[in-house]
């Protein structure tokens, strides 16, 4: 586990950044988790960031994935992700 995000509007919604499983999400305060990797698969996620005024807008930093690394964004609370850093070559995002 590299980072944890608890939705300020819904404390039952928890996201975890993992080394091998991408993003895991919970809707029951962390009692159970499911993969939330629509848009990428099993990436090494290092960190989360959300927009204060729009908490459903989330961003994750990804490392060790060459052209598939960088930053991915979600506009639906982590249900699906889109790469936002095409062309960054082999950049890694640690925080």
pLDDT in tens, 21-72: 889 999 999 999 998 888 776 578 888 888 988 988 998 888 766 666 678 8
pTM, two decimal places? 0.76
Instruction: Report how far apart, in Å, the C-alpha atoms of 22 and of each of 19, 40, 42, 52, 83 are.
Output: 7, 8, 4, 23, 14
Instruction: In whole angstroms, give the CA distance from residue 59 to residue 85.
Output: 11
């Amino acid at each position: 586990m590299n980072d944890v995000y608890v939705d300020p509007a819904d404390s039952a919604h928890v996201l975890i950044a993992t080394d091998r499983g991408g993003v895991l999400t919970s809707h029951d305060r962390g009692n159970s988790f499911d993969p939330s990797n629509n848009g990428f698969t099993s990436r090494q996620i290092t960190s989360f960031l959300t927009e204060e005024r729009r908490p459903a807008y989330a961003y994750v930093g990804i490392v060790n994935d060459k052209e598939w690394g960088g930053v991915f964004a979600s506009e639906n609370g982590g249900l699906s992700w889109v790469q936002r850093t095409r062309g960054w070559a082999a950049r890694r995002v640690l925080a």
